[in-house]
A and B are shown apart, each in its own frame.
Chain A
Amino acid sequence: MASLALKNLFHDKIRLTVTLVGIVFSVVLSSIQLGLFVGFQRATSDILYFSNADLWIASKNVTHAEDGVPFSERKLYQALASPRVERIEKQIFQFTTWKKPDGADTGVLLVGFDLAGGMGAPWNITEGRIEDLNQPDAVMIEELYKDKLGVSRIGETVEIRGHRAKVVGFTRGIRSFTTSPPVFTSFKNAQNFFGLREDQTLFLVVKAKPGVDPESLKSELQSLMTDVDVYTRAEWTSKQRNYWMFGTGAGITVLIAAFLGLLVGVVVVAQTIYSATVDHIREYGTLKAMGASNFYLYRVIVTQAFLSGLIGYAVGMSVALLVSRISLEGTTAIILPKELVVGLFFLTILMCVGASVVSINKVTRIDPAMVFKG
């Protein structure tokens, strides 16, 4: 039976190629769209996720991290009243404008963090030192966006919201999910760029003492301060992702494209497997006349679909992984985590076997008497 399926599959090379092209196209399209989704999702919250904070305190009812409204740093001292807090730092996280050396404007995401504590600091620094951000007006940028920001080396000066800024270092791999690249600076510098008062901040980030449950600390802090909202890391990153992925519709678009990729795959595979079944309908009818059960014929068809899916997936995923690897050198990352790679394998097999159901239906209805019709 397996031999029949295998031989049937490989006998017509053109049909096999058409089937495999359909599956490969579907796997590549779905993988890349889902990889873009994951990359986009991570980019929206990586800076928050890697900040190493356990809790965020924001003004009431912010919809996302870039939506922060200034509030008094007195909240910091109120929060410190809890003995379970290890430390609290001020943070600024906001879109602003960047004037390139050639005078052109572009948007950036300015991240001002407490240099002494380090929550929210950049990672993967390839040039410069974190301490260099202690200098007035010093900023550190992501090297993927050098061209976009009009900067090619350390020491160059630009303007942020009309204030002079000097590039003192570069990071590697901290991507933006929008057209605004991340720019890191000290909290003090960020305060100056935004013209905030000395006692104002946009966020407070909290590190809990070892062994303290962030959820219970959140409840405690929330009860201490009524005019701000307190979030755990999971809540804050989730809020950020949900806003950008679904609130803006950007993620939905990517998901729809991935779904369409799968749909195209199902249609192409169903059509080719059905067409192959129709081509062999007389032989299937002969088998049925000879006494083959419907189950026997199903196994032949499903095995063919499974093998098509296996080969198509292997080729398609190889292409997708290559594209993913290349994308990591650019500003738009296509990230294919292990779970996605494994999940897509099962989805592809399910898609192919599911597509063969149409053919199975055809075989079930074969009238074995057809074999007597010359």
Chain B
Amino acid sequence: MPDRERIMKSIEVKNLVKTYGAAETAVHALKGVDLDVFEGELQLLVGASGSGKTTLVSIMGGILSATSGSCRIRGAETIGLGQKQLQKIRLDNIGFIFQGFNLFPALTARENVEVALDLKGFRGAEMRRRAGALLERVGLGAKLDAYPADLSGGQKQRVAIARALAGEPRIILADEPTAALDSFSGKLIMDLLQELAREKNRAVVVVTHDNRIFDYADRIVRIDDGRISERIMPEKGMAHHHGMMHTTFEPAAAV
């Protein structure tokens, strides 16, 4: 994959170690992980519960500190930085999508997106225009004034994606984005994330247990017991790869 070296690495992780606790009670969540995430790539992090995927994505997102090693976000080292510096890196570079959506129930779809835009420094009419445009982009132009309680799971996740896209971050980190969704909604969400990677040149990392979405991946990384145990490229025929049985939804871009 020589072309990959010319593509900018959005995230570069080297020998990352994370240990919770100390001495006899220490839990070694990550035991020397090396990982690159490139622009324009949709990468899946898979593994059993407790394998270290969430710890890894939390460190890559600049919201958890590592015990040792290196984690560069678009070239900038994040290990050892203070909370304020990490906060700025998150604000400037990363959009988050969560399994539980984490939308403000008191705010409409538009207002939920506006909160993220407000954090990025947008105000007034410009903020409203951008929020509307982002929701249009995820197919919710008709639901601008709907509250989360009035939206389906898939629609809520699309609002969360629109919110994650506020300020056009170069990296999207998604934690189990389809876990709480039916097949149809899950497909819509993965289509959107794939489009972000391929057409908008974003680096998209998806933590998942959902084998229905494996066909969307440009790369699948399996983590077992705090170590990367397997790296699979789709052209290697991952659909039939051992231990990674996939079932449904075909990616739109692959059709």
Contacts and interface: CB of A to CB of B under 8 A. Distances in A.
B201 interface: no
Given A291-B87, A372-B58, A286 B96 contact: yes
B119 A296 contact: yes
Contacts of A293: 84, 87
A12 B94 CA distance: 31
Interface stretch (B7-15, B98-106, B181-189, B226-234): B98-106
B111 A283 contact: no
B192 interface: no
Contacts of B179: 374
Interface in B45-62: 54, 57-58, 61
A338 interface: no
Given A283-B104, A374-B99, A290 B54 contact: no
A289 B96 contact: yes
Given A287-B119, A291-B119, A7 B107 contact: yes
Given A289-B61, A290-B119, A373-B54, A8 B99 contact: no
A372 B98 contact: yes
B104 A4 contact: yes
Interface string A285-299: 111111111001000
B176 A374 contact: yes
Contacts of B58: 369, 372
A371 B91 contact: no
A26 B17 CA distance: 53
Contacts of A10: 106
Interface residues of A, number: 27
Contacts of A3: 111, 114
B90 interface: yes
A373 B57 CA distance: 12
B87 A7 contact: no
B90 A289 contact: yes
Nearest to A285: B102
Contacts of A280: 104
Please classify the interface of chain A as helix (H, G, I), strand (E, B), loop, or mixed, using the class held by over half of its residues.
Answer: helix
B88 interface: yes
B231 to A, nearest CB: 22
Nearest to B53: A372
Interface string A5-44: 0011011100000000000000000000000000000000
Contact of A289 (B63, B100, B118): B63
A70 interface: no
B175 A372 contact: yes
Contacts of B111: 3-4, 7
A369 B96 contact: no
Please classify the interface of chain B as helix (H, G, I), strand (E, B), loop, or mixed, using the class held by over half of its residues.
Answer: mixed
B116 A290 contact: yes
A314 interface: no
A323 B40 CA distance: 70
A107 interface: no
A272 to B, nearest CB: 16
Interface string A174-209: 000000000000000000000000000000000000
B106 A286 contact: no
B239 interface: no
A290 B91 contact: yes
A241 B99 CA distance: 67
B115 interface: yes
A289 B184 CA distance: 28
B57 A372 contact: yes
Contacts of B94: 291
A292 B120 CA distance: 9
Contacts of A372: 54, 57-58, 98, 175, 207
A317 to B, nearest CB: 28
A136 interface: no
Contact of A4 (B96, B98, B115): B115
Interface in A258-283: 280, 282-283
A287 B113 CA distance: 11
A287 B96 CA distance: 10
Given A289-B96, A371-B98, A371-B102, 6 more contacts: A286-B98, A290-B96, A291-B119, A369-B54, A371-B175, A374-B100
29 contacts: A4-B107, A7-B104, A7-B107, A10-B106, A280-B104, A283-B104, A286-B102, A287-B115, A288-B63, A290-B90, A290-B91, A290-B95, A290-B116, A290-B163, A291-B87, A291-B88, A291-B92, A291-B119, A292-B119, A293-B84, A369-B54, A369-B58, A371-B102, A372-B57, A372-B98, A372-B175, A372-B207, A373-B54, A374-B179
5 closest A-B pairs by beta carbon, nearest first, are A291-B91, A11-B106, A286-B102, A368-B63, A7-B106
